[in-house]
Amino acid sequence: MSPLDTLAPDQRAVLELVLRQGRSYGELSELLGIPERDVRARADAGLRVLAGEAAARVDTGRITDWLLGQQPDAEAERTRAAVQRSAESREWAAAAAERLRELGGAAVPDVPGGDDAPRPRPRPLRESAPAAEVPVARSSRLGGAILIGVVAVIVGGLIAFVILRGGDDDGGGQQAGTQAEATATPTPPANANGNDIVLQGTDGSNAAGLMRLIRRKNGNVQFAIAAENVPPNQGREVYAVWFTREGGTPRRLGFTQAPVREDGILTTGGPQKGDADDFPKWFATYDKVLVTRETDAKAKTPGPAVLEGTLPNGA
Q: How confident is the model at residue 4 (pLDDT cuts 50, 70, 90)?
A: low
pLDDT above 90: residue 13: no
* CA distances from residue 30 to 25, 38, 68 in whole angstroms, order as listed: 9, 12, 18
In a domain, 138, yes or no: no
CA–CA separation, 157 and 261 (whole Å): 17
Domain final residue, candidates 127, 153, 172: 127
Q: How confident is the model at residue 194 (pLDDT cuts 50, 70, 90)?
A: low
Q: Say what the pLDDT of residue 262 is.
A: 87
CATH number at residue 247: 2.60.40
In a domain, 110, yes or no: yes
| Claim to verify: residue 229 and residue 294 sit in the same structural domain | yes
21 close to 258: Cβ distance less than 8 angstroms = yes
In a domain, 136, yes or no: no
**Phi, psi torsion values for 132, nearest 5 degrees:** -60, 145
Q: How confident is the model at residue 135 (pLDDT cuts 50, 70, 90)?
A: very low
208 close to 227: Cβ distance less than 8 angstroms = yes
Let me know if 168 is exposed, middle or buried by CB neighbors in 10 A (0-12, 13-18, 19+). Answer: exposed
Q: Say what the pLDDT of residue 186 is.
A: 33
| Claim to verify: residue 99 and residue 173 sit in the same structural domain | no
Q: How confident is the model at residue 34 (pLDDT cuts 50, 70, 90)?
A: confident
- Partnered with residue 223 across adjacent β-strands are 213, 270
Higher pLDDT, 177 or 272: 272
CA–CA separation, 283 and 306 (whole Å): 20
> If you average pLDDT over each of 15-29, 76-90, 258-272, which comes out highest?
76-90
| Claim to verify: residue 88 and residue 169 sit in the same structural domain | no
Q: What is the pLDDT of residues 212-259, one digit of tens each?
A: 887 777 778 888 888 888 999 888 888 999 999 999 999 999 888 678
| Claim to verify: residue 108 and residue 150 sit in the same structural domain | no
| Claim to verify: residue 162 and residue 84 sit in the same structural domain | no
| Claim to verify: residue 7 and residue 98 sit in the same structural domain | yes
| Claim to verify: residue 22 and residue 61 sit in the same structural domain | yes
Domain final residue, candidates 92, 127, 162: 127
| Claim to verify: residue 34 and residue 93 sit in the same structural domain | yes
60 close to 44: Cβ distance less than 8 angstroms = yes
In a domain, 180, yes or no: yes
pTM exceeds 0.75 for this model: no
Q: How confident is the model at residue 28 (pLDDT cuts 50, 70, 90)?
A: confident
Domain final residue, candidates 127, 156, 174: 127
Q: What is the pLDDT of residues 42-59, one digit of tens each?
A: 999 999 999 999 999 999
Q: What is the pLDDT of residues 200-216, one digit of tens each?
A: 999 888 888 888 887 77
String of DSSP letters for the chain: --GGGGS-HHHHHHHHHHHHH---HHHHHHHHTS-HHHHHHHHHHHHHHHH-PPPTT--HHHHHHHHTT-S-HHHHHHHHHHHHH-HHHHHHHHHHHHHHHHTT-TTPPPPP-TTPPP-PPPPPGGGSSPPPSS---PPPPPPHHHHHHHHHHHHTT-HHHHHHTTT--SSSHHHHHHHTT--EE----TT-S-SEEEEEESTT---EEEEEEEEETTS-EEEEEEEESPPPP-TT-EEEEEEE-TTS--EEEEE-SS---TT--EEEEE--GGGTTTHHHHHHH--EEEEEEES-TT-SS--SEEEEEE-GGG-
pLDDT above 60: residue 139: no
| Claim to verify: residue 156 and residue 70 sit in the same structural domain | no
User: Which residues constitute the domain of residue 54?
Assistant: 3-127
Higher pLDDT, 293 or 193: 293
**pLDDT mean over 175-184:** 29
In a domain, 13, yes or no: yes
| Claim to verify: residue 109 and residue 199 sit in the same structural domain | no
| Claim to verify: residue 302 and residue 210 sit in the same structural domain | yes
In a domain, 208, yes or no: yes
In a domain, 310, yes or no: yes
In a domain, 132, yes or no: no
| Claim to verify: residue 153 and residue 73 sit in the same structural domain | no
**pLDDT mean over 170-196:** 35
pLDDT above 50: residue 314: yes
Count of domains forming the chain: 2
Q: Say what the pLDDT of residue 115 is.
A: 53
CA angle 66, 39, 254 (to 5 degrees): 115
